[in-house]
Structure 1
Amino acid sequence: MAGLVVVIVVIASLWALQRRLIYFPDRAAPPVPAGVREVSYRTEDGLTLKAWYVPSSRPGAPVVLVAPGNAGNRSYRLPLATALASRGLSVLLVDYRGYGGNPGSPSETGLTRDVRAARGYLTEELGAGRVLYFGESLGAAVITRLAVTHPPAGLLLRSPFSDLASVGREHYPFLPVGALLKDRFPVADQIGRVEAPAAVVYGDADSIVPPRQSREVARRVTHLVREVVVPGADHNDQVLLDGPQLVDAVLALNAAQPAS
């Protein structure tokens, strides 16, 4: 009986605290680097969020909306933005609610609202004509959901998982993860509904998201432009943060013809 009570307490605690095991924000507002414009926009539930816009030197350049993973803040993705800007693409580095000095606490619903507001800023305030989506790990799930309702010019998913429960079971096999989760992020189930050219990039030594899950996502893409498997690369290796294979895949998407 005592053992059952312990199990119940542990499961109840995990239910209550689970988002602390999913989201790892750097809550500090990072200083704005030279050549970067800090912008803000308002979400549908009333939060004002800050992001960084990194412009290309090319007038009217396509814009890449970067939805980050579950850790850090926008400063961690600046090398990626710089690499893309040097190749002729402007970049919006999003920070979710609770990240990078932004108000609020992260959740699946909240992150969905955040990227929707970021897209609205690009299309309505900035007047961007061509927008590409880039989703990193958890951000791949966030941006896929946006792409279903607001198709981009192209969609790049970096190290995507099938759904959050599937990747959670890899790390907590002793827990009923599927029953406990509040946030689901069903990437594999949603990606087939995206009517846009897409690319999937992942490492074959990923210790966070099993490569087989990224392969499954790629298999379900309707308009796959490129699947890039980086040999020996783990989830957070530099080559998967701003490496040439990643940047080239974004450029290939930008050059792709619209899906028909």
Structure 2
Amino acid sequence: MPYWLHIVLWVLAIYIVISVLLFYLQDYFLFKPEKLPKDFQFLYENQVVEEYNLEARDGAIINGLHFKTKNPKGVVLYLKGNSKSIKGWGKFAVDFTRLGYDVIMVDYRGFGKSIGKRSQKNIKHDLQYVYNKIRERVQEKYIILYGRSLGSGFATKLASMNHPKLLILDAPYYSLTKVTGRYMPFMPLSVILKYPMPTFKWLQYVNCPVHIIHGTNDKLIPFKSSVKLSQIKPNLTRLYPIIGGGHKNLNTFEAYHEVMEQIITENKKHIDLSTTSIGVKHSSKK
């Protein structure tokens, strides 16, 4: 056997082994769950919260929290990122309860107190089940979907299949395949990735207003991914850059909270376009 062919076969064998390992170990790399004991008590200062458990069709248990306000204007279904559990994420509910909205947060399978075999399909079914439960008590015109990082894809999928009031995406990815491809450009991720999460495809079927918030200094999910997403349904979408914001610190920026209040309260100023230059075209030299 020629020496060069021997080298090629060895490289091919290593490539295949790495691909197989990535296929079976990708959950370990993608998800950073925090597991909680069944008797763990959720406590938050100045928040009224109720814990609940829902049983999925395959017997999995989905644990969640309901942050309550007096005379709520609606409800926000908050889909969190890929780390920890709702124990830590719960402190962000105040950004919505202070504006008069109830908040529902859930832990994905394997996170917190939630149990069950995790897959993209199962998580989508779980979240639709949660959405259906909310819809039994609240009209869809009062439901806001909020997706943070990993949750942005699932929130977009839910919005594409339902009719919520708003879809808010916080640091969303174009697709999870694109994000992971930045770190493993030579691997066949389109084949082996069990969580491709094609947000860009699902967004095409969303018919409610879409608000995208993204830090311009996000190193994990580049700001340009939100720029691309905002161009899919431009008539329904508005992009809010948080100048200097990273991936995990947007809540530390005053601009983020100003944007959230503007979106949630729908505090928009009407502009009489007939008094503007909207119809004026620059002349071109011939």
Q: Could you report, residue by residue, the CA deviation over 1:9-49 in whole angstroms, capped at 9, with x for unpaired residues?
A: 22211111112211221122552115211022232333221
* Deviation of the 1:5 alpha carbon: 2.6
User: Does 1:20 pair with 2:28?
Assistant: yes
Question: What pairs with 1:213-224 in structure 2 (closer than 5 Å)?
Answer: 213-221=225-233, 223-224=235-236
Give 1 or 2 for the bigger CA radius of gyration.
Answer: 2
Do the aligned partners of residues 60 and 137 (structure 1) sit closer, same or farther apart at CA in structure 2, a change above 3 Å counting?
A: same
Q: How many residues align?
A: 253
Deviation for aligned residue 1:246: 5.2
Q: 1:169-248 alignment to 2 at 5 Å?
A: 169-221=181-233, 223-224=235-236, 226-239=238-251, 243-245=256-258, 247-248=260-261
Deviation at 1:247, TM superposition (A): 2.6
The residue aligned with 2:275 is: none
For the aligned residue pairs, the C-alpha RMSD in angstroms reads: 2.3
Change (3 A) 1:15 1:176: same
Q: For residue 58 of structure 2, what is the aligned residue in structure 1?
A: 45
Gap regions ≥5 residues in structure 1: none
Match of 2:18 in 1: 10
* Offset from partner CA, 1:132-165 (integer Å, 9 cap, x none): 1000111110111111111211110111111111
In structure 2, the partner of 1:33 is 43
CA distance in 2, matches of 1:93, 1:198: 20
TM-score by length of 1: 0.89
Q: Which structure 1 residue ranges, 4+ long, deviate > 4 Å from structure 2?
A: 240-243, 252-256
Cα deviation for residue 172 of structure 1 reads 1.9
Partner of 1:150: 162
Distance 1:12 1:75, change over 3 A: same
Gaps in structure 2 of 5+ consecutive residues: 1-8, 270-286
Query: Alignment partner for residue 171 of structure 2, among 159, 168, 173?
Result: 159
- Equivalent residue number for residue 137 of structure 1: 149
TM-score (norm 2): 0.81
Alignment partner, residue 5 of structure 2: none
